[in-house]
Structure 1
Amino acid sequence: MKNKPLNEKKVFVYSSVHVWNDTRIYYKEIDTLLKAGYQVEQMAVETTQQPEFRQNLTQRLFQKGSRFKRFTRWLSIYKAIRQSDAKYYHFHDPELLLLLPILRKKKGVFLYDMHENFPKALETKAWIPAALRTPLAKIVKRMEQRCLKLCDNVIFAETSYKKDYSYVTQRYDDILNYPTYQEALSSPESVEQTLIYIGGIEENRGLWIMLEALKNLKQSGYEDLKLKLIGPIFEADNEKIDVFVSKNGLMSNVERLGRIPNDEIGAHMANATAGLCLLKPIPNYMESMATKMFEYMSAELPMIVSDFPMWSELMEETQSGYSVNPLDNLEVVNAIERLLKSKKLQQEMGANGRYHYEKTYNWTAEGKKLLALYEVATSEVLNESTVYQPTF
């Protein structure tokens, strides 16, 4: 692999899975790099939203397709990296670790941005047959351990990941997934009673928990209560939702907006009464802090969240919402109803959340950590005459 002179201010950001406007990748990390004067090349998956022109940013987008088409994307990424003169290669998918043994013949700094504890997540993936999940997770963990040795830096999106990655001995940093800083939203004088959820929408993320709660609340007299779902939904789930809302008379109460531009989400939160984050108690969820909780804080939106230990501690610290057992429908409904009945409680919890968001839980400090990581990588990188020689 021919080595070109490296551009010290150029970053190649790549993913075979994430869409180009993924919030963490584009609106936080790429935006931070561009504002700091870096040039950025991005490879990611297209969406219906057209990319915007930004100086010093070039993008190559993959067409949407099944997960089995990812293999062809790997080849495209490999070829593009071979031709790139970027100093830094910042990637976001565990599967792309498999390219490192051949890519490490190229000079440059490789940074793996870990969005989830992948081996642990495999144990609950619905598309994997149940009998294969644990054996597959063990195999993947061994492969991941070997490939991670070829990274220059590892970025953890959650502090909890480190306990399962004690073997990572190279430079690593916690760059947490707090939302970008936004000025306080101005709420309209009159707001319909609306529950809102932002993020991937499926069973393990509380889809049916939210719908059952809405059904019970409507039966209790909240005839006009709305549930607004913002995020991608699998087509099979959409069909099941159609059946559920039709059967229970909720056609006018459930609004599915799908994935919408990041700058439109704030207006929907400003018009909501409470935010929901009722994920099921799956190990990978229980040890992560859902970004949507901090987004709700930014919008002064009180919330109802699952009673995972870390989440309950956050609610106790910030007094910005209630933590409940997501599998206890009555407990969920009662918590929502307490908020619906008290405008004063909504305002107090919303203000508490906004205070802690401004003080601690926003991207500003995390962006500085990202730039510091690049500066350290520059000072520590191997000299240009040296390349990695994989040992497996």
Structure 2
Amino acid sequence: MNKPKVCHFTSAHKPDDIRIYHKECTSLAEAGYDVSLVSAYEASGLEGAVRVVHTGSGPRGRISRMLFTAKEVYKTAKQIDADIYHFHDPELLRFGLKLKRRGKKVIYDAHEDVPRQIMAKFWIPRVFRKLISVCFEKYENYVAKRLSAVVVSTPHIRERFIQINPRTIDVCNYPLMNELMEPTSWDDKQDEICYVGGISVVRGIRELADALALLPDLRLNLAGNFSTGELEEEIRAKAAWNRVEFYGYVGRKELLSIFQRSKIGMVTLLPTPNHMESLPIKMFEYMSAGIPVICSDFPLWKTIVGENKCGVCVDPSNPELIASEIQRMLSQPEEARKMGENGRIAILEKFNWEIEKKKLFNLYETL
């Protein structure tokens, strides 16, 4: 019996998104499904069993993307006439509901707890955030209840959605086995740390830059896109910028190279409601690469780091404490090296995609 035709679609993510393309779509294709991925962005260098289709619209402003790009992506996805549709952005909720009403199996992949995320959106006036958050949550619940299934990225988000749709599963965004597991000897590294991911105020870039200024012999490998041009200008104007190696958005090979150069991986996100229960992929990728982690002292993260002895937690709003923990870790190389090894072991034993993809396969089989 042939596996069903599957279409993943996204209006906000690039075709090579690690969760969507490299994990979910590729794993389903390897399991025998006929998989297409529709994105607004043009694909390049993606070779494999996943058929990548782009709408040609490319990058747009936030409002234009929500209003027009989402519709273009939906129209392209609908033409594929798949058996199962799997979408990845809140702005596509209305189109997921349309597909369900056309008799399709439809899965909503909730990467974030969006109502809580809205409360930290700098581009939404503070006075309106609570109202928008409440209204969106009601709408998201209304649609999610009527879809075939919901996939979420953390157990915390699952607890919310399972009250609405009993066919809800958490598929955590843990690393691919062996992808980043080519560690470099600690003795071969310089005094360099790294931060990889979205660069924004709520992700602690100001505090990290200020901590760097307190450590004159330290260099920061910074990879990702700034949330705004104004923030990039602000950070570039700081005194320590001359000790920042800024890569911008990087591919997977460049990512491995950054990890091999760095002694510590930084995840000092500020305590927003969305961050405190998240499972940031960057933390687990640092662990996979065998480098110790310095992360925010959220209860969930303290449990993960503490139980696996793979790093330390710190108040992310305090540059002096961040700098102190960096300095302490650099001054105790044997302890830091052991933390890195512990992180790799934890990835091999429990925090990896090989375990998570089985949940996805089971869901697809039930559909």
> TM-score scaled by structure 1?
0.88
Give deviations 1:191-213, integer Å, cap 9, x for gaps. Answer: 11111011101110010111011
Partner in structure 2 of residue 77 of structure 1:
73
Higher RCO by CA contacts (8 Å cutoff, separation 6 or greater)? 1
Partner in structure 2 of residue 92 of structure 1:
88
1:340 is aligned, of 327, 330, 339, to 330
Post-superposition offset of 1:369: 1.4
Rounded to whole Å, the distance in 2 between the matches of 1:168 and 1:319 is 36
Per the alignment, do residues 156 and 37 of structure 1 end up closer, same or farther by CA in structure 2, a change over 3 Å counting? same
Query: 1:100–1:150: 8 Å Cα contact kept in structure 2?
Result: no
Give deviations 1:286-326, integer Å, cap 9, x for gaps. Answer: 01111111101101100110000000011110111000111
Q: Is structure 2 residue 43 aligned with structure 1 residue 53?
A: no
Map 1:1-392 to 2 at 5 A: 8-46=3-41, 50-61=44-55, 62-70=57-65, 71-182=67-178, 184-187=181-184, 190-218=188-216, 222=217, 225-233=218-226, 234-244=228-238, 248=239, 250-377=240-367
Superposed CA RMSD in Å reads: 1.7
Paired residue secondary structure (2:120): coil
Give deviations 1:67-92, integer Å, cap 9, x for gaps. Answer: 12222222223322332221110001
Rounded to whole Å, the distance in 2 between the matches of 1:290 and 1:107 is 35
Per the alignment, do residues 75 and 45 of structure 1 end up closer, same or farther by CA in structure 2, a change over 3 Å counting? closer
Give deviations 1:245-300, integer Å, cap 9, x for gaps. Answer: xxx2x343111111111232112101111000000011110011111111011011
Give the number of the structure whose alpha-carbon radius of gyration is greater: 1
Paired residue secondary structure (2:83): strand
Query: 2:221–2:244: 8 Å Cα contact kept in structure 1?
Result: yes
Rounded to whole Å, the distance in 2 between the matches of 1:56 and 1:99 is 22
Query: 1:16–1:45: 8 Å Cα contact kept in structure 2?
Result: yes
The sequence identity of aligned pairs, in percent, is: 32
* Runs of 5+ unmatched residues, structure 1: 1-6, 378-392
Query: 1:78–1:103: 8 Å Cα contact kept in structure 2?
Result: no
Give deviations 1:37-61, integer Å, cap 9, x for gaps. Answer: 22222122426x7242323513214
**Equivalent residue letter for 1:46:** Y
Per the alignment, do residues 35 and 144 of structure 1 end up closer, same or farther by CA in structure 2, a change over 3 Å counting? same
Partner in structure 2 of residue 387 of structure 1:
none
Query: 2:39–2:54: 8 Å Cα contact kept in structure 1?
Result: yes
Query: 1:176–1:366: 8 Å Cα contact kept in structure 2?
Result: yes
Large movers: runs of 4+ above 4 Å: none
Paired residue secondary structure (2:164): coil
Post-superposition offset of 1:365: 0.7
Rounded to whole Å, the distance in 1 between the matches of 2:189 and 2:275 is 31
